[in-house]
Amino acid sequence: MDTATMVQCADGLSLISDALDELRERLRRLAAAHIDTVTAGRTHLQHALPITFGYRAAVWLSALDRHAERLAEVRRRDLMVQFGGAAGTLASLGPGPEGLRVRAELAAELGLRDPEITWHVARDGLASIVGLLAAIGASVGKIGTDLALMCSTEIAEAAEPYAPGRGASSTMPQKRNPISSELMIAAAGLLRERSSAMLDAALQDFERATGPWHIEWAVVPETFLLLSSSLAQAVHAVSGLRIDTGRMRSNVDATGGLIMAEAVMMALAPQLGRQRAHHLVYAVCAQAAENSTPLVDALLEHRDIVASLGEQRIRELCDPAAYLGSARAMTRSVITRSDRPEPADTAEPA
């Protein structure tokens, strides 16, 4: 039964890998298309600094790229043949090397790893497989979380692909709910529970357990189904995602330029000192917010700041597109890396 499970896991991991690769390719295209699209970076759900939407998509992609590497490692390390006899010692095949030779040939025939020792009660391999699938689900759920928030009415920077009736409300005709994102989030929570259950199933007694391994019967297939569904929903959402670049820019400008406060502070710091520059810009931001004044105007009214930076420099510092740091370079790095095919897993069975 363990060997059959491993053969099924091998097939399942191939399907998961293919689905993950498709999602990675969709995200790579999305990141490339919006590498220069300025949007608001948010921390604690508040405007922080300007970023690009391509950068955000590349962050999603980078996690999935690492998961692709982990999948290759799991397939090499954890897909093991099970052949050991009643207590795992291969005693029925005699004291010589015959038992180990049979096990090795069986592993080779099935394309599984030949383990160093029987793993009847060492369930780390299956726990590792399920744990990785849950981790991939969490990364997909993070994408769903971001998309769901971006689809909210107040932010309105994105919308999932339109299909007649999909995402509609039974009573509110105007609704266009982010159904795929919701399912990605839900799957992440369900997958977390499966990973936890597999850790319970790993607590097995002596050389053959009295029951914990029965947990695997439900958990392993459910895990593959949940992640497969989550990846399918993610591919659907990302493939036809509608991005409103105009809304992104208007959201950046919604605070009257306060999102550029750090840029001004960092420019002042070499002349005034970091702490004084922070206090000064903080006070100007508070005044601008209280009076609903654009930050650039509030800065230009402050003589010390104008004397330190000059009017032209102040206006330059208040341009969100001019304060993106290495966002473009990092996005390009992820896109380029993700565009390269993963090296083939040519490892021979141990």
Three-state SS at 38: strand
Three-state SS at 34: coil
* Dihedral over alpha carbons 172, 182, 163, 245 (to 10 degrees): 90
Which of 271, 17, 20, 56 minimizes the C-alpha distance to 158? 56
Amino acid at 161: P
For 31, 150, 151, the CA distances from 146, given in Å and listed in that order, are 15, 6, 9
Three-state SS at 39: strand
List the Cα angle 231/248/252 in 5-degree steps.
Answer: 130
Exposure on the CB side of residue 212, measured as CA atoms within 13 A:
20
Helices (H) and strands (E) counted in the chain, each on its own, are 13, 4
Integer Cα distance of 127 and 123 in angstroms: 6
Estimate to the nearest angstrom the gap between the alpha carbon of 190 and the chain centroid. 16
Integer Cα distance of 350 and 343 in angstroms: 19
Estimate to the nearest angstrom the gap between the alpha carbon of 117 and the chain centroid. 35
Given the residues 14, 101, 166, 169, the one annotated as active site: 169
Per the annotation, the verdict on 169 as an active-site residue is: yes
Rg (CA), the chain: 27
- DSSP conformational letter for 53: H
Query: Is-contact 87 177, C-beta < 8 A?
Result: no
Question: 325: which 2 tokens?
Answer: 């740091």
Given the residues 101, 208, 242, 315, the one annotated as active site: 208
Integer Cα distance of 248 and 257 in angstroms: 14
Per this entry, what is the length of the chain?
A: 350
Q: Which sequence positions are flagged as catalytic?
A: 169, 208
